[in-house]
Amino acid sequence: MRTALVTGSAGFIGFHLSRLLLDQGWRVVGVDSHNDYYDPALKSAREAWLTPHPQFRALRGTVETPGLLAGLFAAERPDAVIHLAAQAGVRHSIDNPGAYVRANLLGTFELLEAARAHPPAHLLLASTSSVYGANTAMPYRETDKADTQMSFYAATKKSTEAMAHSYAHLFGLPVTMLRFFTVYGPWGRPDMAPWLFTRAILDGSPIRVFNHGAMQRDFTYVADLVQGVARLIDAVPGGVPVGDFDSLSPVAPFRVVNIGNGAPVQLTDFIAAIETATGRTAIRDLQPMQPGDVPATWADTTLLTALTGQSPRTPVTTGVAAYVRWFVAHYGG
């Protein structure tokens, strides 16, 4: 039985990935801080779904704690490590950048040092579509230059990519960076638009619609996304590129992979899907663009498909309906 170490295992994506890996026969060791960036009760509720499984072990702690991950790597010797723990949120990074330095930069450093001492077969780290920043040519391709980040959150994530590449080169660590595109679905974070929109629509309160609704996002259903991550575990970088679209490094076992739906959706259409699923009409409060945000995202998923044989395809109407059903069951309508 193979062992996977999942950091951020009580988080939105980490929870779904841990469930999938357990279903696939993995032993999963999860580490999570349960911090109060959003309601820790949601994180505890997610973890409560995992803990009864005999092949799941949960550890509470912050990844930036010196030696915590090193000790865990030494004790568990994981075959695969999926590093999802991070301080998330574009807007919060404007108000509290220090949290991003600690969790994203120092946390990733601790992870890389632990992997250097006890190398797994594959190290997969979460990045974000936000690293593409001011790029306007779409769809975003992994081979595009990405040096114009628009938020400090995105800057820390681009920095973790650079840090991981250096360790891949210096110590032969096989690394895949996962650039996630606007993930949504059941058990989603309450600081994200789907939660905020659904809560407000159900309550009859206004929703804030930024850039007056002229926004596009490559909304990616969480079940599709974690399937992609799980399939990438055995797509260990190295050897020759799979095509001229491959981001494989010329000097290290390192590549970047987009995981997105490959089809941008107008924000107004996403809101309409929530209206349909709830049977209620949104009250729109049109707002200007927020600092650090971008008007559109769109993933080229050619590389993901070449490496895994599939790419996310759940339609927004289907994914939103599933999300609203979970929301009403969990929070009430």
Contact predicate 146/158, CB 8 Å = yes
Residue 168 DSSP label? H
The total of other beta-carbon atoms located within 10 Å of residue 160's CB is 24
Residue type, 154: A
Distances in whole angstroms, Cα of residue 148 to Cα of each of 62, 132, 152: 29, 7, 11
> The tokens 């959003």 sit on which residue?
38
Q: Specify whether 221 is catalytic.
A: no
Q: In this structure, what token pair is assigned to residue 201?
A: 């629509």
**153, 167, 184, 323: the active-site residue:** 153
Residue 216 DSSP label? E
Active site residues: 153
